[in-house]
Chain A
């Protein structure tokens, strides 16, 4: 990818890496509750703490 970007003329590109982006809908009463459950999910399944870090953002939506 880095080579391809350089081949396209994008100078100064370094350290290109691919990660994962996950999206999910979660029913919760409060933002705090949603955040707590999301962290639990991230630690128990969505990420592997041996090899991965994670961060998250919450967006309120009406379904």
Chain B
């Protein structure tokens, strides 16, 4: 699996994502500058967390209009796998690659804690190694994480299986108390219609080693790795 981690001005989880792919998964990974215009040769592009451009205007708004995002758009349109984490999720919605938007947390406060999310669709390249309704513990750290989409869009997302992660309690119930930011329908992460672009607010890359308190995030990267390996076998076969 050949991963690219995009580095925008103000990204700060780029090192976490890079470390996880290189040192934990032992896979190929390269930093990609925000002015890069080609993403040839990559299997997976990760948009990391952070505060791109200081969250000026809106979280992710400026980063979504950088040159590399035109390349990400072409990469996604040709079926490439794109994972946006936290600020990366915000960038993908601002770029129009994912539906909806991330608003200020309903508490109006920054939320930095462990949360539980339930995998709502385990048929994607990002989740196919997870079991049905598997619950993952991962950290969130954001001020603008309240997922919003108009009611008709929410209906479509649910009907098409595009709600991929939902905030739940430890037992896997999507209760209000488990929702750290006031997201519609406890939505923590969504995909595009084709299922090759996924964004989520929690940080799977910070839940990949026991020393960090959870290894639950690994299932997402293991799924991606399995999917990419399968694709290589198909190509060579």
Contacts and interface: CB of A to CB of B under 8 A. Distances in A.
Interface residues of B, number: 12
The 6 closest A-B pairs by CB, nearest first: A50-B101, A51-B101, A48-B101, A51-B103, A48-B58, A51-B148
Contacts of B93: 50
What is the predominant secondary structure among interface residues of chain A facing chain B? loop
B41 interface: no
A50 B150 contact: yes
Q: On chain A, which size bracket covers the interface?
A: under 10
A45 B148 contact: no
A45 B95 CA distance: 10
B113 to A, nearest CB: 25
A50 B58 CA distance: 12
A51 B93 CA distance: 11
B76 interface: no
B57 interface: yes
Contacts of B172: none
Interface in A18-63: 45-46, 48, 50-51
A55 B65 CA distance: 22
Interface of B: 57-58, 61, 65, 93-94, 100-101, 103, 148-150
B9 to A, nearest CB: 17
A45 B101 contact: no
Contacts of B94: 48
A48 B93 CA distance: 10
Contacts of A48: 58, 61, 94, 101
A45 B100 CA distance: 16
17 contacts: A45-B57, A45-B61, A45-B65, A46-B57, A48-B58, A48-B61, A48-B94, A48-B101, A50-B93, A50-B100, A50-B101, A50-B148, A50-B149, A50-B150, A51-B101, A51-B103, A51-B148
A51 B103 CA distance: 8
Contacts of B65: 45
B51 to A, nearest CB: 17
B158 to A, nearest CB: 17
Contacts of B148: 50-51
Contacts of A46: 57
Contacts of B61: 45, 48
A53 to B, nearest CB: 13
Nearest to A46: B57
Contacts of A51: 101, 103, 148
B102 to A, nearest CB: 9
A45 B148 CA distance: 18
Nearest to A20: B57
